[in-house]
Structure 1
Amino acid sequence: MLSPQRAEMEAAPPRRSIPATVWVLGLVSLLMDISSEMVQTLLPLYLATGLGASAMTIGFIEGLSVAVATATKFLSGLVADWSRRSKPLAVLGYGIGALSRLVFPLAASIDLIILAKAMDRVGKGIRGTPRDAMIAAVSPPAIRGASFGLRKSLDTVGGFLGPLLAIAAMMLLAGNIVTVFWMAVIPAALAVAVLAWGVKEPPGEGGAKRPDFRLSQAFRLNRAVWAVIGIAAIIMLARFSEAFVLLKSLEAGFSPSWVPLSMVIMHAVYGLAAYPVGRLSDRVGGMGLLLWSLAFLVAAHLVLAFATAAWVYLLGTVLWGLHMGFSQGLLGAMIAGASPEGLKGSAFGTFNLVTGLVVLVGNTAAGWAWQSFGSAMPFLLGAGLSVLAMLLLILGRRQPGR
């Protein structure tokens, strides 16, 4: 007969296993990212060759869409903390994203593309913060990095499969981009269904009752949260939209049907790196890994700036994917760890708002540099900003108390 202590140990769930909610939310992200990448990997090409948009216009559209998403994430975070319910907001956000997929194939002008992108980004903005808050609520601190890394890895599996499906569809459909946009509706609808029926609203962290939410507290986040937000803003300024990476592929000799291949490779590397990096951060912390991510970004910018051959360009996308894998999940885990219980939605919302405004500025500037000085210039500027970000991080680590 088992002793009480032995029985309790065997009956207790493993402390370091990833919660089922994280797996299901990862599957939802995977499905939606398949849909997103089927559209996004072809959209810059469609804008440039089909609608005659300039590089600066494409950069502004990409930056504006991110800014819209992040402003929405901020409001979504406040609502999540106030209502103490995250799932309804997540379902609403994924639902709006799925509806936007119906607009892309009907868009015959830049104005309608902006509308579709705005809907997509509003949906992303609404769902991102409550989804991350749910992951933070169900993940013990000891495996928080692994949980966020796993969600990012599953998300990037979708980022890998989406471009592959886009390539196959483009070849089968003789380059008919609009039909590929129609096909992207299917995985988006599945994502909404899985979320609606497969995820339960989690309790407060550790099952504890959450404190009352006060709006004034949401605007007075602690120094640790603001420190992570500052780090993220620097990184996001150095890394502009992947739309410019896709446009660069045409200069490297890719035909339109094979342009999504760069996103296949990038997301494969991203997905393979995100989960092990997240687990490693649980043991060694995140600052050193963020420095590695910026080193990869410097290398990616320099390689892509002078990429005139396919193999050089693909090397640049591998380095970009390593940067993403070493940074994205870490930042989410760092925000989750720094924010107090009851204000995680507000913390994630503020984080996304600030970084989104930075991306708007960075993308518009990258488009202007491309249009004014050639395709190499935005990547050279990005390399310089990445080096500056590394120096600031190193200086920050050396300050007393860090």
Structure 2
Amino acid sequence: MKYITKTVWVLSIVSLLTDTASEMLYPIMPIYLKTIGFSVVLIGVLEGFAEATAGLSKGYFGKLSDTMGRRVPFVQLGYGLSALSKPMMALFVFPFWVFLVRTLDRFGKGIRTGARDALLSDAATPSTKAKVFGFHRSMDTLGAVLGPSFALLYLYYYPEDYKTLFYIAFIPGLLAILATFYLKESTAPAAKPKASTPFFSFLHYWKDSPAPYRKVVAGLLAFTLFNSSDVFLLLKAKQAGLDDTMVIAIYIFYNLVYALLSFPLGILADKIGLKPILLLGFATFAAVYAGMAMNANVYLFFGLFFLYGFYAAATEGISKAWISNITLKKDTATAIGTYTGLQSICTMLASSLTGFVWFQFGATAAFITTAVATLVVLFYFFTVPAPQPITEETPT
């Protein structure tokens, strides 16, 4: 695996450690917030505000990384803020401070995402992008298996001891910070920009970006508008009769499938093309949501979540590989930051839309709506040309 360079290994280990810390707290976060006085509405406002902060900052800091020609400082600061936020969630229990700390965590994600993905892109060639992004995604998602598994084990022996978990989560977060010091810039820093970078300057990239980028990202964002939070899938499983432990177990199972398949599907995508794998992922997603709408059998949920893990492995890394292949190297962080930033906003809207349809017409209508919308996006992507790597001389 000579294409898995030192940079890819370090970034993958950093993501593994950080996701282990974050996902250790994912199952207990709503429960913990309620124990310190947060209502369901306030929890929703908190998460929405935090995700909006992450979304908008991804675009800005991606643009700033490209402007400065620096990647590593953004990665170090971003992972550092996320790690520090873990124990602070246990230390500060007043709503204002919890809002601030949770936003700090998501802000860290916004700072690092574009620069990190640009480093991954720089460490690969057009023919190995899917492998590299797939390997990183496998390691990152492995953290979503280890974190909740540890949380379940810990709470089995120490029920309701939520605060200690926040302190424990700082340990892998700290190790992630230390690992980032093994990173080195892949290119020389650019000259210091003469003018400042306005916060929304990344939005100008849409107009200046290559036409293939706009066509691909438009389709991906349309899909995201109907791809709501995984919470709705877990809620459907809960309503079908799974207890809390089984719901968390099925979430861990999904992430395990996701982690195990991301790298092999990346290898396959580099062999047969990114587009066929992405289309297969969308088709699988539509099938999963249609199945969720009609299924009432508890055991079949494991099959649906297996397919859901396959869909995630076939789309997340592949989409970033596609985007990085059709944009100029000097704009990689801006291109991915703009996409992931807008994606975060669309995800918020998707969850609101799904929640509204579920409330008004029921779970079946919500899942069928998503499945049908995904089929429309699937047909749209049949009209999108397969990615052709862009060079500095390629016209936009």
Say which SS state the counterpart of residue 70 (structure 2) adopts.
coil
CA shift digits 1:122-157 (9 cap, x unpaired): 111111110001111121222111111110011111
Distance change >3 Å, CA 39–CA 250, structure 1 → 2 = same
Alpha-carbon shift at residue 67 of structure 1 (Å): 2.8
Distance change >3 Å, CA 294–CA 72, structure 1 → 2 = same
- Normalization by structure 1: what TM-score? 0.84
Q: 1:3-402 counterparts in 2 under 5 A?
A: 17-44=3-30, 46=32, 53-54=39-40, 61-106=46-91, 114-195=99-180, 197-203=181-187, 218=205, 220-396=208-384
- Looking at structure 2, the residues matched to 242 and 44 of structure 1 have their Cα atoms a distance apart, in angstroms, of 14
Q: Which amino acid aligns with 2:324?
A: A
Deviates more, 1:365-374 or 1:264-273: 365-374
Distance change >3 Å, CA 245–CA 49, structure 1 → 2 = farther
Deviates more, 1:61-70 or 1:167-176: 61-70
Distance change >3 Å, CA 155–CA 177, structure 1 → 2 = same
Deviates more, 1:327-336 or 1:345-354: 345-354
Q: Which amino acid aligns with 2:168?
A: M
Alpha-carbon shift at residue 308 of structure 1 (Å): 4.3
- Looking at structure 1, the residues matched to 94 and 302 of structure 2 have their Cα atoms a distance apart, in angstroms, of 31
Query: Identity of aligned pairs, percent?
Result: 28
Alpha-carbon shift at residue 253 of structure 1 (Å): 3.1
Asked if the contact 2:52/2:345 (under 8 Å) is kept, the reply is yes
Asked if the contact 2:68/2:190 (under 8 Å) is kept, the reply is no
- Looking at structure 1, the residues matched to 229 and 92 of structure 2 have their Cα atoms a distance apart, in angstroms, of 22
Distance change >3 Å, CA 255–CA 91, structure 1 → 2 = same
Alpha-carbon shift at residue 349 of structure 1 (Å): 1.4
CA shift digits 1:166-217 (9 cap, x unpaired): 211221112444433332222112111111x22112127xxxx979989788
- Looking at structure 1, the residues matched to 302 and 8 of structure 2 have their Cα atoms a distance apart, in angstroms, of 32
Asked if the contact 1:47/1:110 (under 8 Å) is kept, the reply is no
Q: Which amino acid aligns with 1:170?
A: L
Q: Which amino acid aligns with 2:267?
A: R
- Looking at structure 2, the residues matched to 93 and 263 of structure 1 have their Cα atoms a distance apart, in angstroms, of 26
For 1:5, the equivalent position in structure 2 comes to: none
Asked if the contact 1:67/1:359 (under 8 Å) is kept, the reply is no
Distance change >3 Å, CA 372–CA 58, structure 1 → 2 = farther
Q: Which amino acid aligns with 1:17?
A: Y
Q: Which runs of 5+ in 2 are unaligned?
A: 387-396
Distance change >3 Å, CA 63–CA 268, structure 1 → 2 = same
Deviates more, 1:209-218 or 1:267-276: 209-218
Distance change >3 Å, CA 114–CA 390, structure 1 → 2 = farther
Alpha-carbon shift at residue 113 of structure 1 (Å): 5.1
Distance change >3 Å, CA 273–CA 48, structure 1 → 2 = farther
Q: Which amino acid aligns with 1:236?
A: T
Q: Which amino acid aligns with 1:92?
A: L
Say which SS state the counterpart of residue 277 (structure 1) adopts.
helix
Say which SS state the counterpart of residue 184 (structure 1) adopts.
helix
Alpha-carbon shift at residue 258 of structure 1 (Å): 4.2
Distance change >3 Å, CA 397–CA 81, structure 1 → 2 = closer
Alpha-carbon shift at residue 22 of structure 1 (Å): 0.3
- Looking at structure 1, the residues matched to 269 and 50 of structure 2 have their Cα atoms a distance apart, in angstroms, of 31
**Matched residues, number:** 378
